[in-house]
Amino acid sequence: MTTTATLSDVQRAAREAAFSMPLEDINPAFPPFFQNDTIGHYFERLRRDDPVHFSRSPVFGDYWSVTKYRDIMQVDTNHQIFSSDWRLGGIVVGDAPEGQKLQMFIAMDPPVHDEQRKAISPIVAPLNLAKMEALIRERTCTVLDNLPRNETFDWVDKVSIELTTLMLATLFDFPIEDRRLLTHWSDVATSNPIFNPKAPSPEERMAELGRMLAYFTRLWNERVNAPPRNDLVSMLAHGPATRNMNPMEYMGNLTLLIVGGNDTTRNSMTGGLLALSQNPAEFAKLRANPALVDSLVPEIIRWQTPLAHMRRTALCDTELGGKKIKKGEKVVMWYLSGNRDSEVIENADQFIIDRARPRNHLSFGFGIHRCVGNRLAEMQLRILWQELLPRFPRIEVVGEPERVPSSFVRGYTSLPVRIPG
């Protein structure tokens, strides 16, 4: 286990490097910065000295880094200039190899984006969320009541993955006994073998996503010939804009829905406990006033920023933050950096659970691509903390988290905890 002293040494060295290296050498998409949680120093330097920064990466190619809140908003709300189209490279900083680009509605521009998004949006409509709340609460209670006491266990596996996978299985009406396949496919879809030795090769990744497609094609075939139901597969099979999708498009939209439904909530469930553990005064504040759960949840989502970036491609020559961006260049919106911009968010580098405007964050994006499941994610986190607080007077984080080596998904592979009692 890494000691606190060693950790502070790591952070001190990273800060020194971030503020002393030439600006042109800063490449914030370097995944080890995220794995060792030192990326914040590089973003702080860029926000101060070069908010719209031309970055070079030997792995991802050249790209523009947009690091301040208002500049990110300008990109995110202007799809006429900044495109998400998968044919131009899509939504992540790295370009997928030819033949492996996934078609999904988040990586499309209007009108196709709007039509396909509309097909699945009823599942997260307010009325449907109200119907789901009792089931989510019941499953949350079962998971929490079965946690071990007085022994170390992995919070990521026992709580974060279990709760989000149960929810995903419900949304897809997916066989509960196979639910961990959904976690597996989400991890496969977002892994990068260059920085993660455990990750599959690009060929293995596509083969595994092909197995996902085969499994979901069986579910599609069952539901396309049955009356429409209130699950994602049925909605896609019966939606006018999605029922004639080709297999690669179905694969892409499944990947989007699985990753979107998994990573945001799963990593916020872990990141929230970690943040409260690192800020005991805030944890004490929450225990003294459990009604603060309502503002705790958006603060966790801001603090964690489960998807660190989204990428766009310039459709024409334009200007942003005084920099001239050429047609075809990649523009990466670093939501994680924008969420630490003190010009817009007061005390942005502090975790504060009773902020006056807790939803003032970028984690769900803005504009036409704003996260369709944001209210569902908030509801799952709210229920978790509402049920957790009265059950466990103390939860101890007993070791350092293991983080995902990714500059896209800001997540965790493990967090050792212990519940006394």
Question: Any residues with CB less than 8 A from the CB of 294 and at least 6 apart, and which?
Answer: 382
CB burial of residue 327 (10 Å; 0-12, 13-18, 19+): exposed
pLDDT value, residue 115: 83
Tally of helices (H runs) and strands (E runs) in the chain? 16, 12
Residue 219 Cα distances to 181, 226, 245, 261, 286, angstroms: 14, 11, 15, 18, 43
C-alpha to C-alpha distance for 276 and 73, rounded to whole angstroms: 29
Other CB atoms within 10 A of residue 288 CB: 8
Tell me 23's DSSP state: G
pLDDT value, residue 7: 58
Question: Any residues with CB less than 8 A from the CB of 27 and at least 6 apart, and which?
Answer: 55, 56, 57
Asked if residues 336 and 309 have their Cβ atoms less than 8 Å apart, the reply is yes
Question: Any residues with CB less than 8 A from the CB of 168 and at least 6 apart, and which?
Answer: 174, 179, 182, 258, 261, 262
Count of all residues that appear for the chain in the document: 421
C-alpha to C-alpha distance for 2 and 13, rounded to whole angstroms: 15
Asked if residues 361 and 302 have their Cβ atoms less than 8 Å apart, the reply is yes
pLDDT value, residue 1: 39
Residue 162: helix, strand or coil by DSSP? Answer: helix
Q: How would you write the pLDDT of the chain (421 residues) with one tens digit per residue?
A: 344 445 588 999 999 999 999 999 999 999 999 999 999 999 999 999 999 999 999 999 999 999 999 999 999 999 999 999 989 989 899 887 777 777 777 777 888 888 888 888 888 889 889 988 999 999 999 999 999 999 999 999 999 999 999 999 999 999 999 999 999 999 898 887 877 888 888 889 889 999 999 999 999 999 999 999 999 999 999 999 899 999 989 998 899 899 888 888 999 999 999 999 999 999 999 999 999 999 999 999 999 999 999 999 999 999 999 999 999 999 999 999 999 999 999 999 999 999 999 999 999 999 888 888 899 999 999 999 999 999 999 999 999 999 999 999 999 999 999 999 8
Which amino acid would we find at residue 161?
I
pTM of the model: 0.93
When computed from its CA atoms, the radius of gyration of the chain, rounded to whole angstroms, is 21
pLDDT value, residue 2: 42
pLDDT value, residue 4: 44
All structural domains of the chain = 4-418 (1.10.630.10)
C-alpha to C-alpha distance for 108 and 86, rounded to whole angstroms: 6
